[in-house]
Amino acid sequence: MHPGHLSLLILKTTCRKYLMDSSYSFTRKNLVVEPVCNLQNKLILVSGGNIKGTLIEELINMSWSTSHLRRMTYTQASQPHDQDELIDYNRNNITMVVPDIGEDLVNQNPQILFTFGCQWIMMNYGSIDNMMELYIGEFQQNSSVLKPAALRPLKPKKYKKPAIPDPSLSFQPMRHTSPIYDATV
């Protein structure tokens, strides 16, 4: 048996009860707009790079190359070219922020990322510093924290059903008849 097939089989059998159902396979659904109760006690598989056509593709729920997930470095996310675009993106999608590449393992301030609505902020857990304490403090009470209302998905506007217009006020061609003429105006 091909090693990839074996790995997939092991993952399917050992984690079956935790895997998302098939409607979430192949990154078909946007998990950001799913009610949290549908995701509780579930294993969400996230991939990077292009997984199209690979054996694991069917199990992947999110990928930053094919779905509602954006991967950015700390510098990219904390200094975006368009802050409003990042905030708007994060209303219905997920931004995963990773530390900048380098040998320095010092954590950066996550607070600015929270203000832009970034959801997944990766930290250097080996560095217990002030920024890590700030990050941990954000989740002191709960492992999931509700965003402020201004950063959540916008609710669609509700419109009243329009009244049926008076046909006598229409600009459509109308037929007029009289004993003398028959015309369409």
Q: What pLDDT sits at residue 160?
A: 85
Q: List the beta strands (DSSP E) in 19-113.
A: 46-47, 62-63, 69-73, 94-98
- The C-alpha atoms of residue 104 and residue 61 are separated, in whole angstroms, by 32
Q: What pLDDT digit, counting tens, does each position of 98-129 carry? A: 999 887 888 999 999 999 999 999 999 888 89
CB-based burial, 117-145: b 16+ in 10 Å, e otherwise:
bbbebebeeeeeeebbeebeeeeeeeeee
Q: What pLDDT sits at residue 3?
A: 63
Which residue has better confidence, 73 or 163?
A: 73
pLDDT band at residue 52 under the 50/70/90 scheme:
confident
The predicted model scores a pTM of: 0.73
- The C-alpha atoms of residue 112 and residue 78 are separated, in whole angstroms, by 6
